[in-house]
Structure 1
């Protein structure tokens, strides 16, 4: 007597397993719902920074734009009068300090781009060679970045003093008629201020380029060495182009730094006598002599529009690449 064993067919097995598979898929797709406590925490984490941004950045910016079309001395809301484009016409056509300030801002940009930034790059390349005490040197060169520009202005003011300054002492002219008035001479003070700004900017660029150099693939340098390229050729043809994202960031930072330069010149002489900058003119008209909130706001809006150009270009290039990838 032969016995037979029922073996389920492939179709039956598949049918038997199908519900379990669907349940597994549904289980994997199940998303954990946020608890009431999680929603509160997320709301605080998103809401508080957004509120701070609104209060300290966006609302003042919007008010500055609105006030730039008014005449107001800041003494009571009933004194606000509509001015149309009169403030902007005054800034561009009648203000004696506007175009010198534009020239000084351009000079600030050129100096930071072609003097301070290469110095920072050179420091980064030297410190990337794993020399002895590299971390100490990095800290020394990065210290100015951690200081405020106002404090930097005070430090360099001591360095540049006409009678007791260190620079005139080293030149042997301290206390003599030949002593150079580094901050008082309108033909010299802009260069003295640029040196002070370079001291800080070079350290900032150094740190950024050091991070970029650490991120360059070592195999690229090895391949260039096998092809017979020397150190200079390897850097300018292989390493520097590979740091293109860092280069773009530094370009944007340099442009913004040149536009928002304020603290150093304000500490020196409140942005006058050869140190006129757009940012200093904003404060001069907002809180200084000859106070005019409308004209000061017009200066601020012009500075904002100019600053938005490099930022917009950078963001469009960055998010454009992310959308393509």
Structure 2
């Protein structure tokens, strides 16, 4: 062996590519414009709402008409405001039902459609169709289906207009469940599409390797597919919490969010833009709604990020 052969090969260091002024401008606009819009239309109004929650302001008269009342709005909400407790209970029920029904059902449908069954495209379109409908339209459909006199269910059972008919929308013990059925119908297609997109990104070679090792379909899903869906699970969690807490249109169309359909979003709207405008009181309710949503989202995100760092 010659001395030339024993000389180790030199590594050619690649110089980092310098961005042109046009590329820098493009990246600045792509990152800056969404940031400015998010800060201007989300974070600043949220912070101002939290500040106004410590005040009493009818919404007119300018800044000079704002009177600071400290924690008085929160004391009123937690002590003598009768609509607050049922609204919180209904929102938590909404959240629990969304976790127990649309989330697992959407995942199940996504797994089945990912198997490339016949007419899978048709099934995807049919199941996703409710998502493109607004919640206000879902509310009108709820009235058509559950109306005690002209609704589909009472007409099919032969109880429409009779003495023993079931008042699905007027009974406070039943109307929340009727609305939840329609809300879950819409939410399932939303969750299905997100999980289906996540399943498409799973490497088929990993599934084949698990099958060669003797794993059945459940074992493959548990040990291969499910860990690969961690990022999608975070999105599903956030979407589920947000959708359950921001529900407004569907109950407002039916009975303006009263008589068993009280929700925090309805209370916020009634106090801020209602006949008796109370901006400070409504802002306190909005702050409580924000804290409830963060109580579910933040701990889960911290846990997920810690696992990613350890991994």
For the aligned pair, the TM-score class normalised by the smaller chain equals 0.7 to 0.9
**Structure 2 residue 41 is the aligned partner of structure 1 residue 65:** no
**Structure 2 residue 61 is the aligned partner of structure 1 residue 76:** yes
Please say which structure displays the higher CA radius of gyration: 1
**Structure 2 residue 225 is the aligned partner of structure 1 residue 245:** no
Aligned counterparts of 2:25 and 2:234: Cα–Cα separation in 1: 39
TM-score norm. by structure 1 comes to 0.82
Q: SS state of the match for residue 165, structure 2?
A: coil
Deviations 1:29-54 (A, max 9, x none): 4753643x555545544443233223
8 A contact 1:252–1:314 mirrored in 2: no
**CA 1:217–1:49 in 2, change beyond 3 Å: closer, same or farther?**
closer
8 A contact 2:241–2:297 mirrored in 1: no
**Structure 2 residue 31 is the aligned partner of structure 1 residue 49:** no
**Structure 2 residue 151 is the aligned partner of structure 1 residue 171:** no
Counterparts of residues 278-317 of structure 1 (less than 5 Å): 278-317=264-303
Deviation (angstroms), 1:306 = 1.8
Deviation (angstroms), 1:96 = 0.7
**CA 1:48–1:216 in 2, change beyond 3 Å: closer, same or farther?**
closer
TM-score norm. by structure 2 comes to 0.85
Aligned counterparts of 1:205 and 1:121: Cα–Cα separation in 2: 7
Deviation (angstroms), 1:295 = 1.0
Aligned to 1:14: none
Deviation (angstroms), 1:322 = 5.5
Aligned to 2:256: 270
Matched pairs, number: 304
Q: Please say which of residues 281-290 and 237-246 is displaced more in the overlay.
A: 237-246
Aligned counterparts of 1:252 and 1:313: Cα–Cα separation in 2: 12
Aligned counterparts of 2:31 and 2:203: Cα–Cα separation in 1: 37
Q: SS state of the match for residue 198, structure 1?
A: helix
Aligned counterparts of 1:81 and 1:244: Cα–Cα separation in 2: 47
**Structure 2 residue 126 is the aligned partner of structure 1 residue 145:** no
**Structure 2 residue 163 is the aligned partner of structure 1 residue 198:** no
Aligned counterparts of 2:204 and 2:142: Cα–Cα separation in 1: 40
**Structure 2 residue 166 is the aligned partner of structure 1 residue 180:** yes
Aligned counterparts of 1:47 and 1:33: Cα–Cα separation in 2: 17
Structure 1: runs of 5 or more not aligned: 1-9, 11-20
Deviation (angstroms), 1:231 = 3.6
How big is the alpha-carbon RMSD for the aligned residues of Structure 1 and Structure 2? 3.0
8 A contact 2:237–2:297 mirrored in 1: no
Structure 2: runs of 5 or more not aligned: 5-9
Deviation (angstroms), 1:127 = 1.6
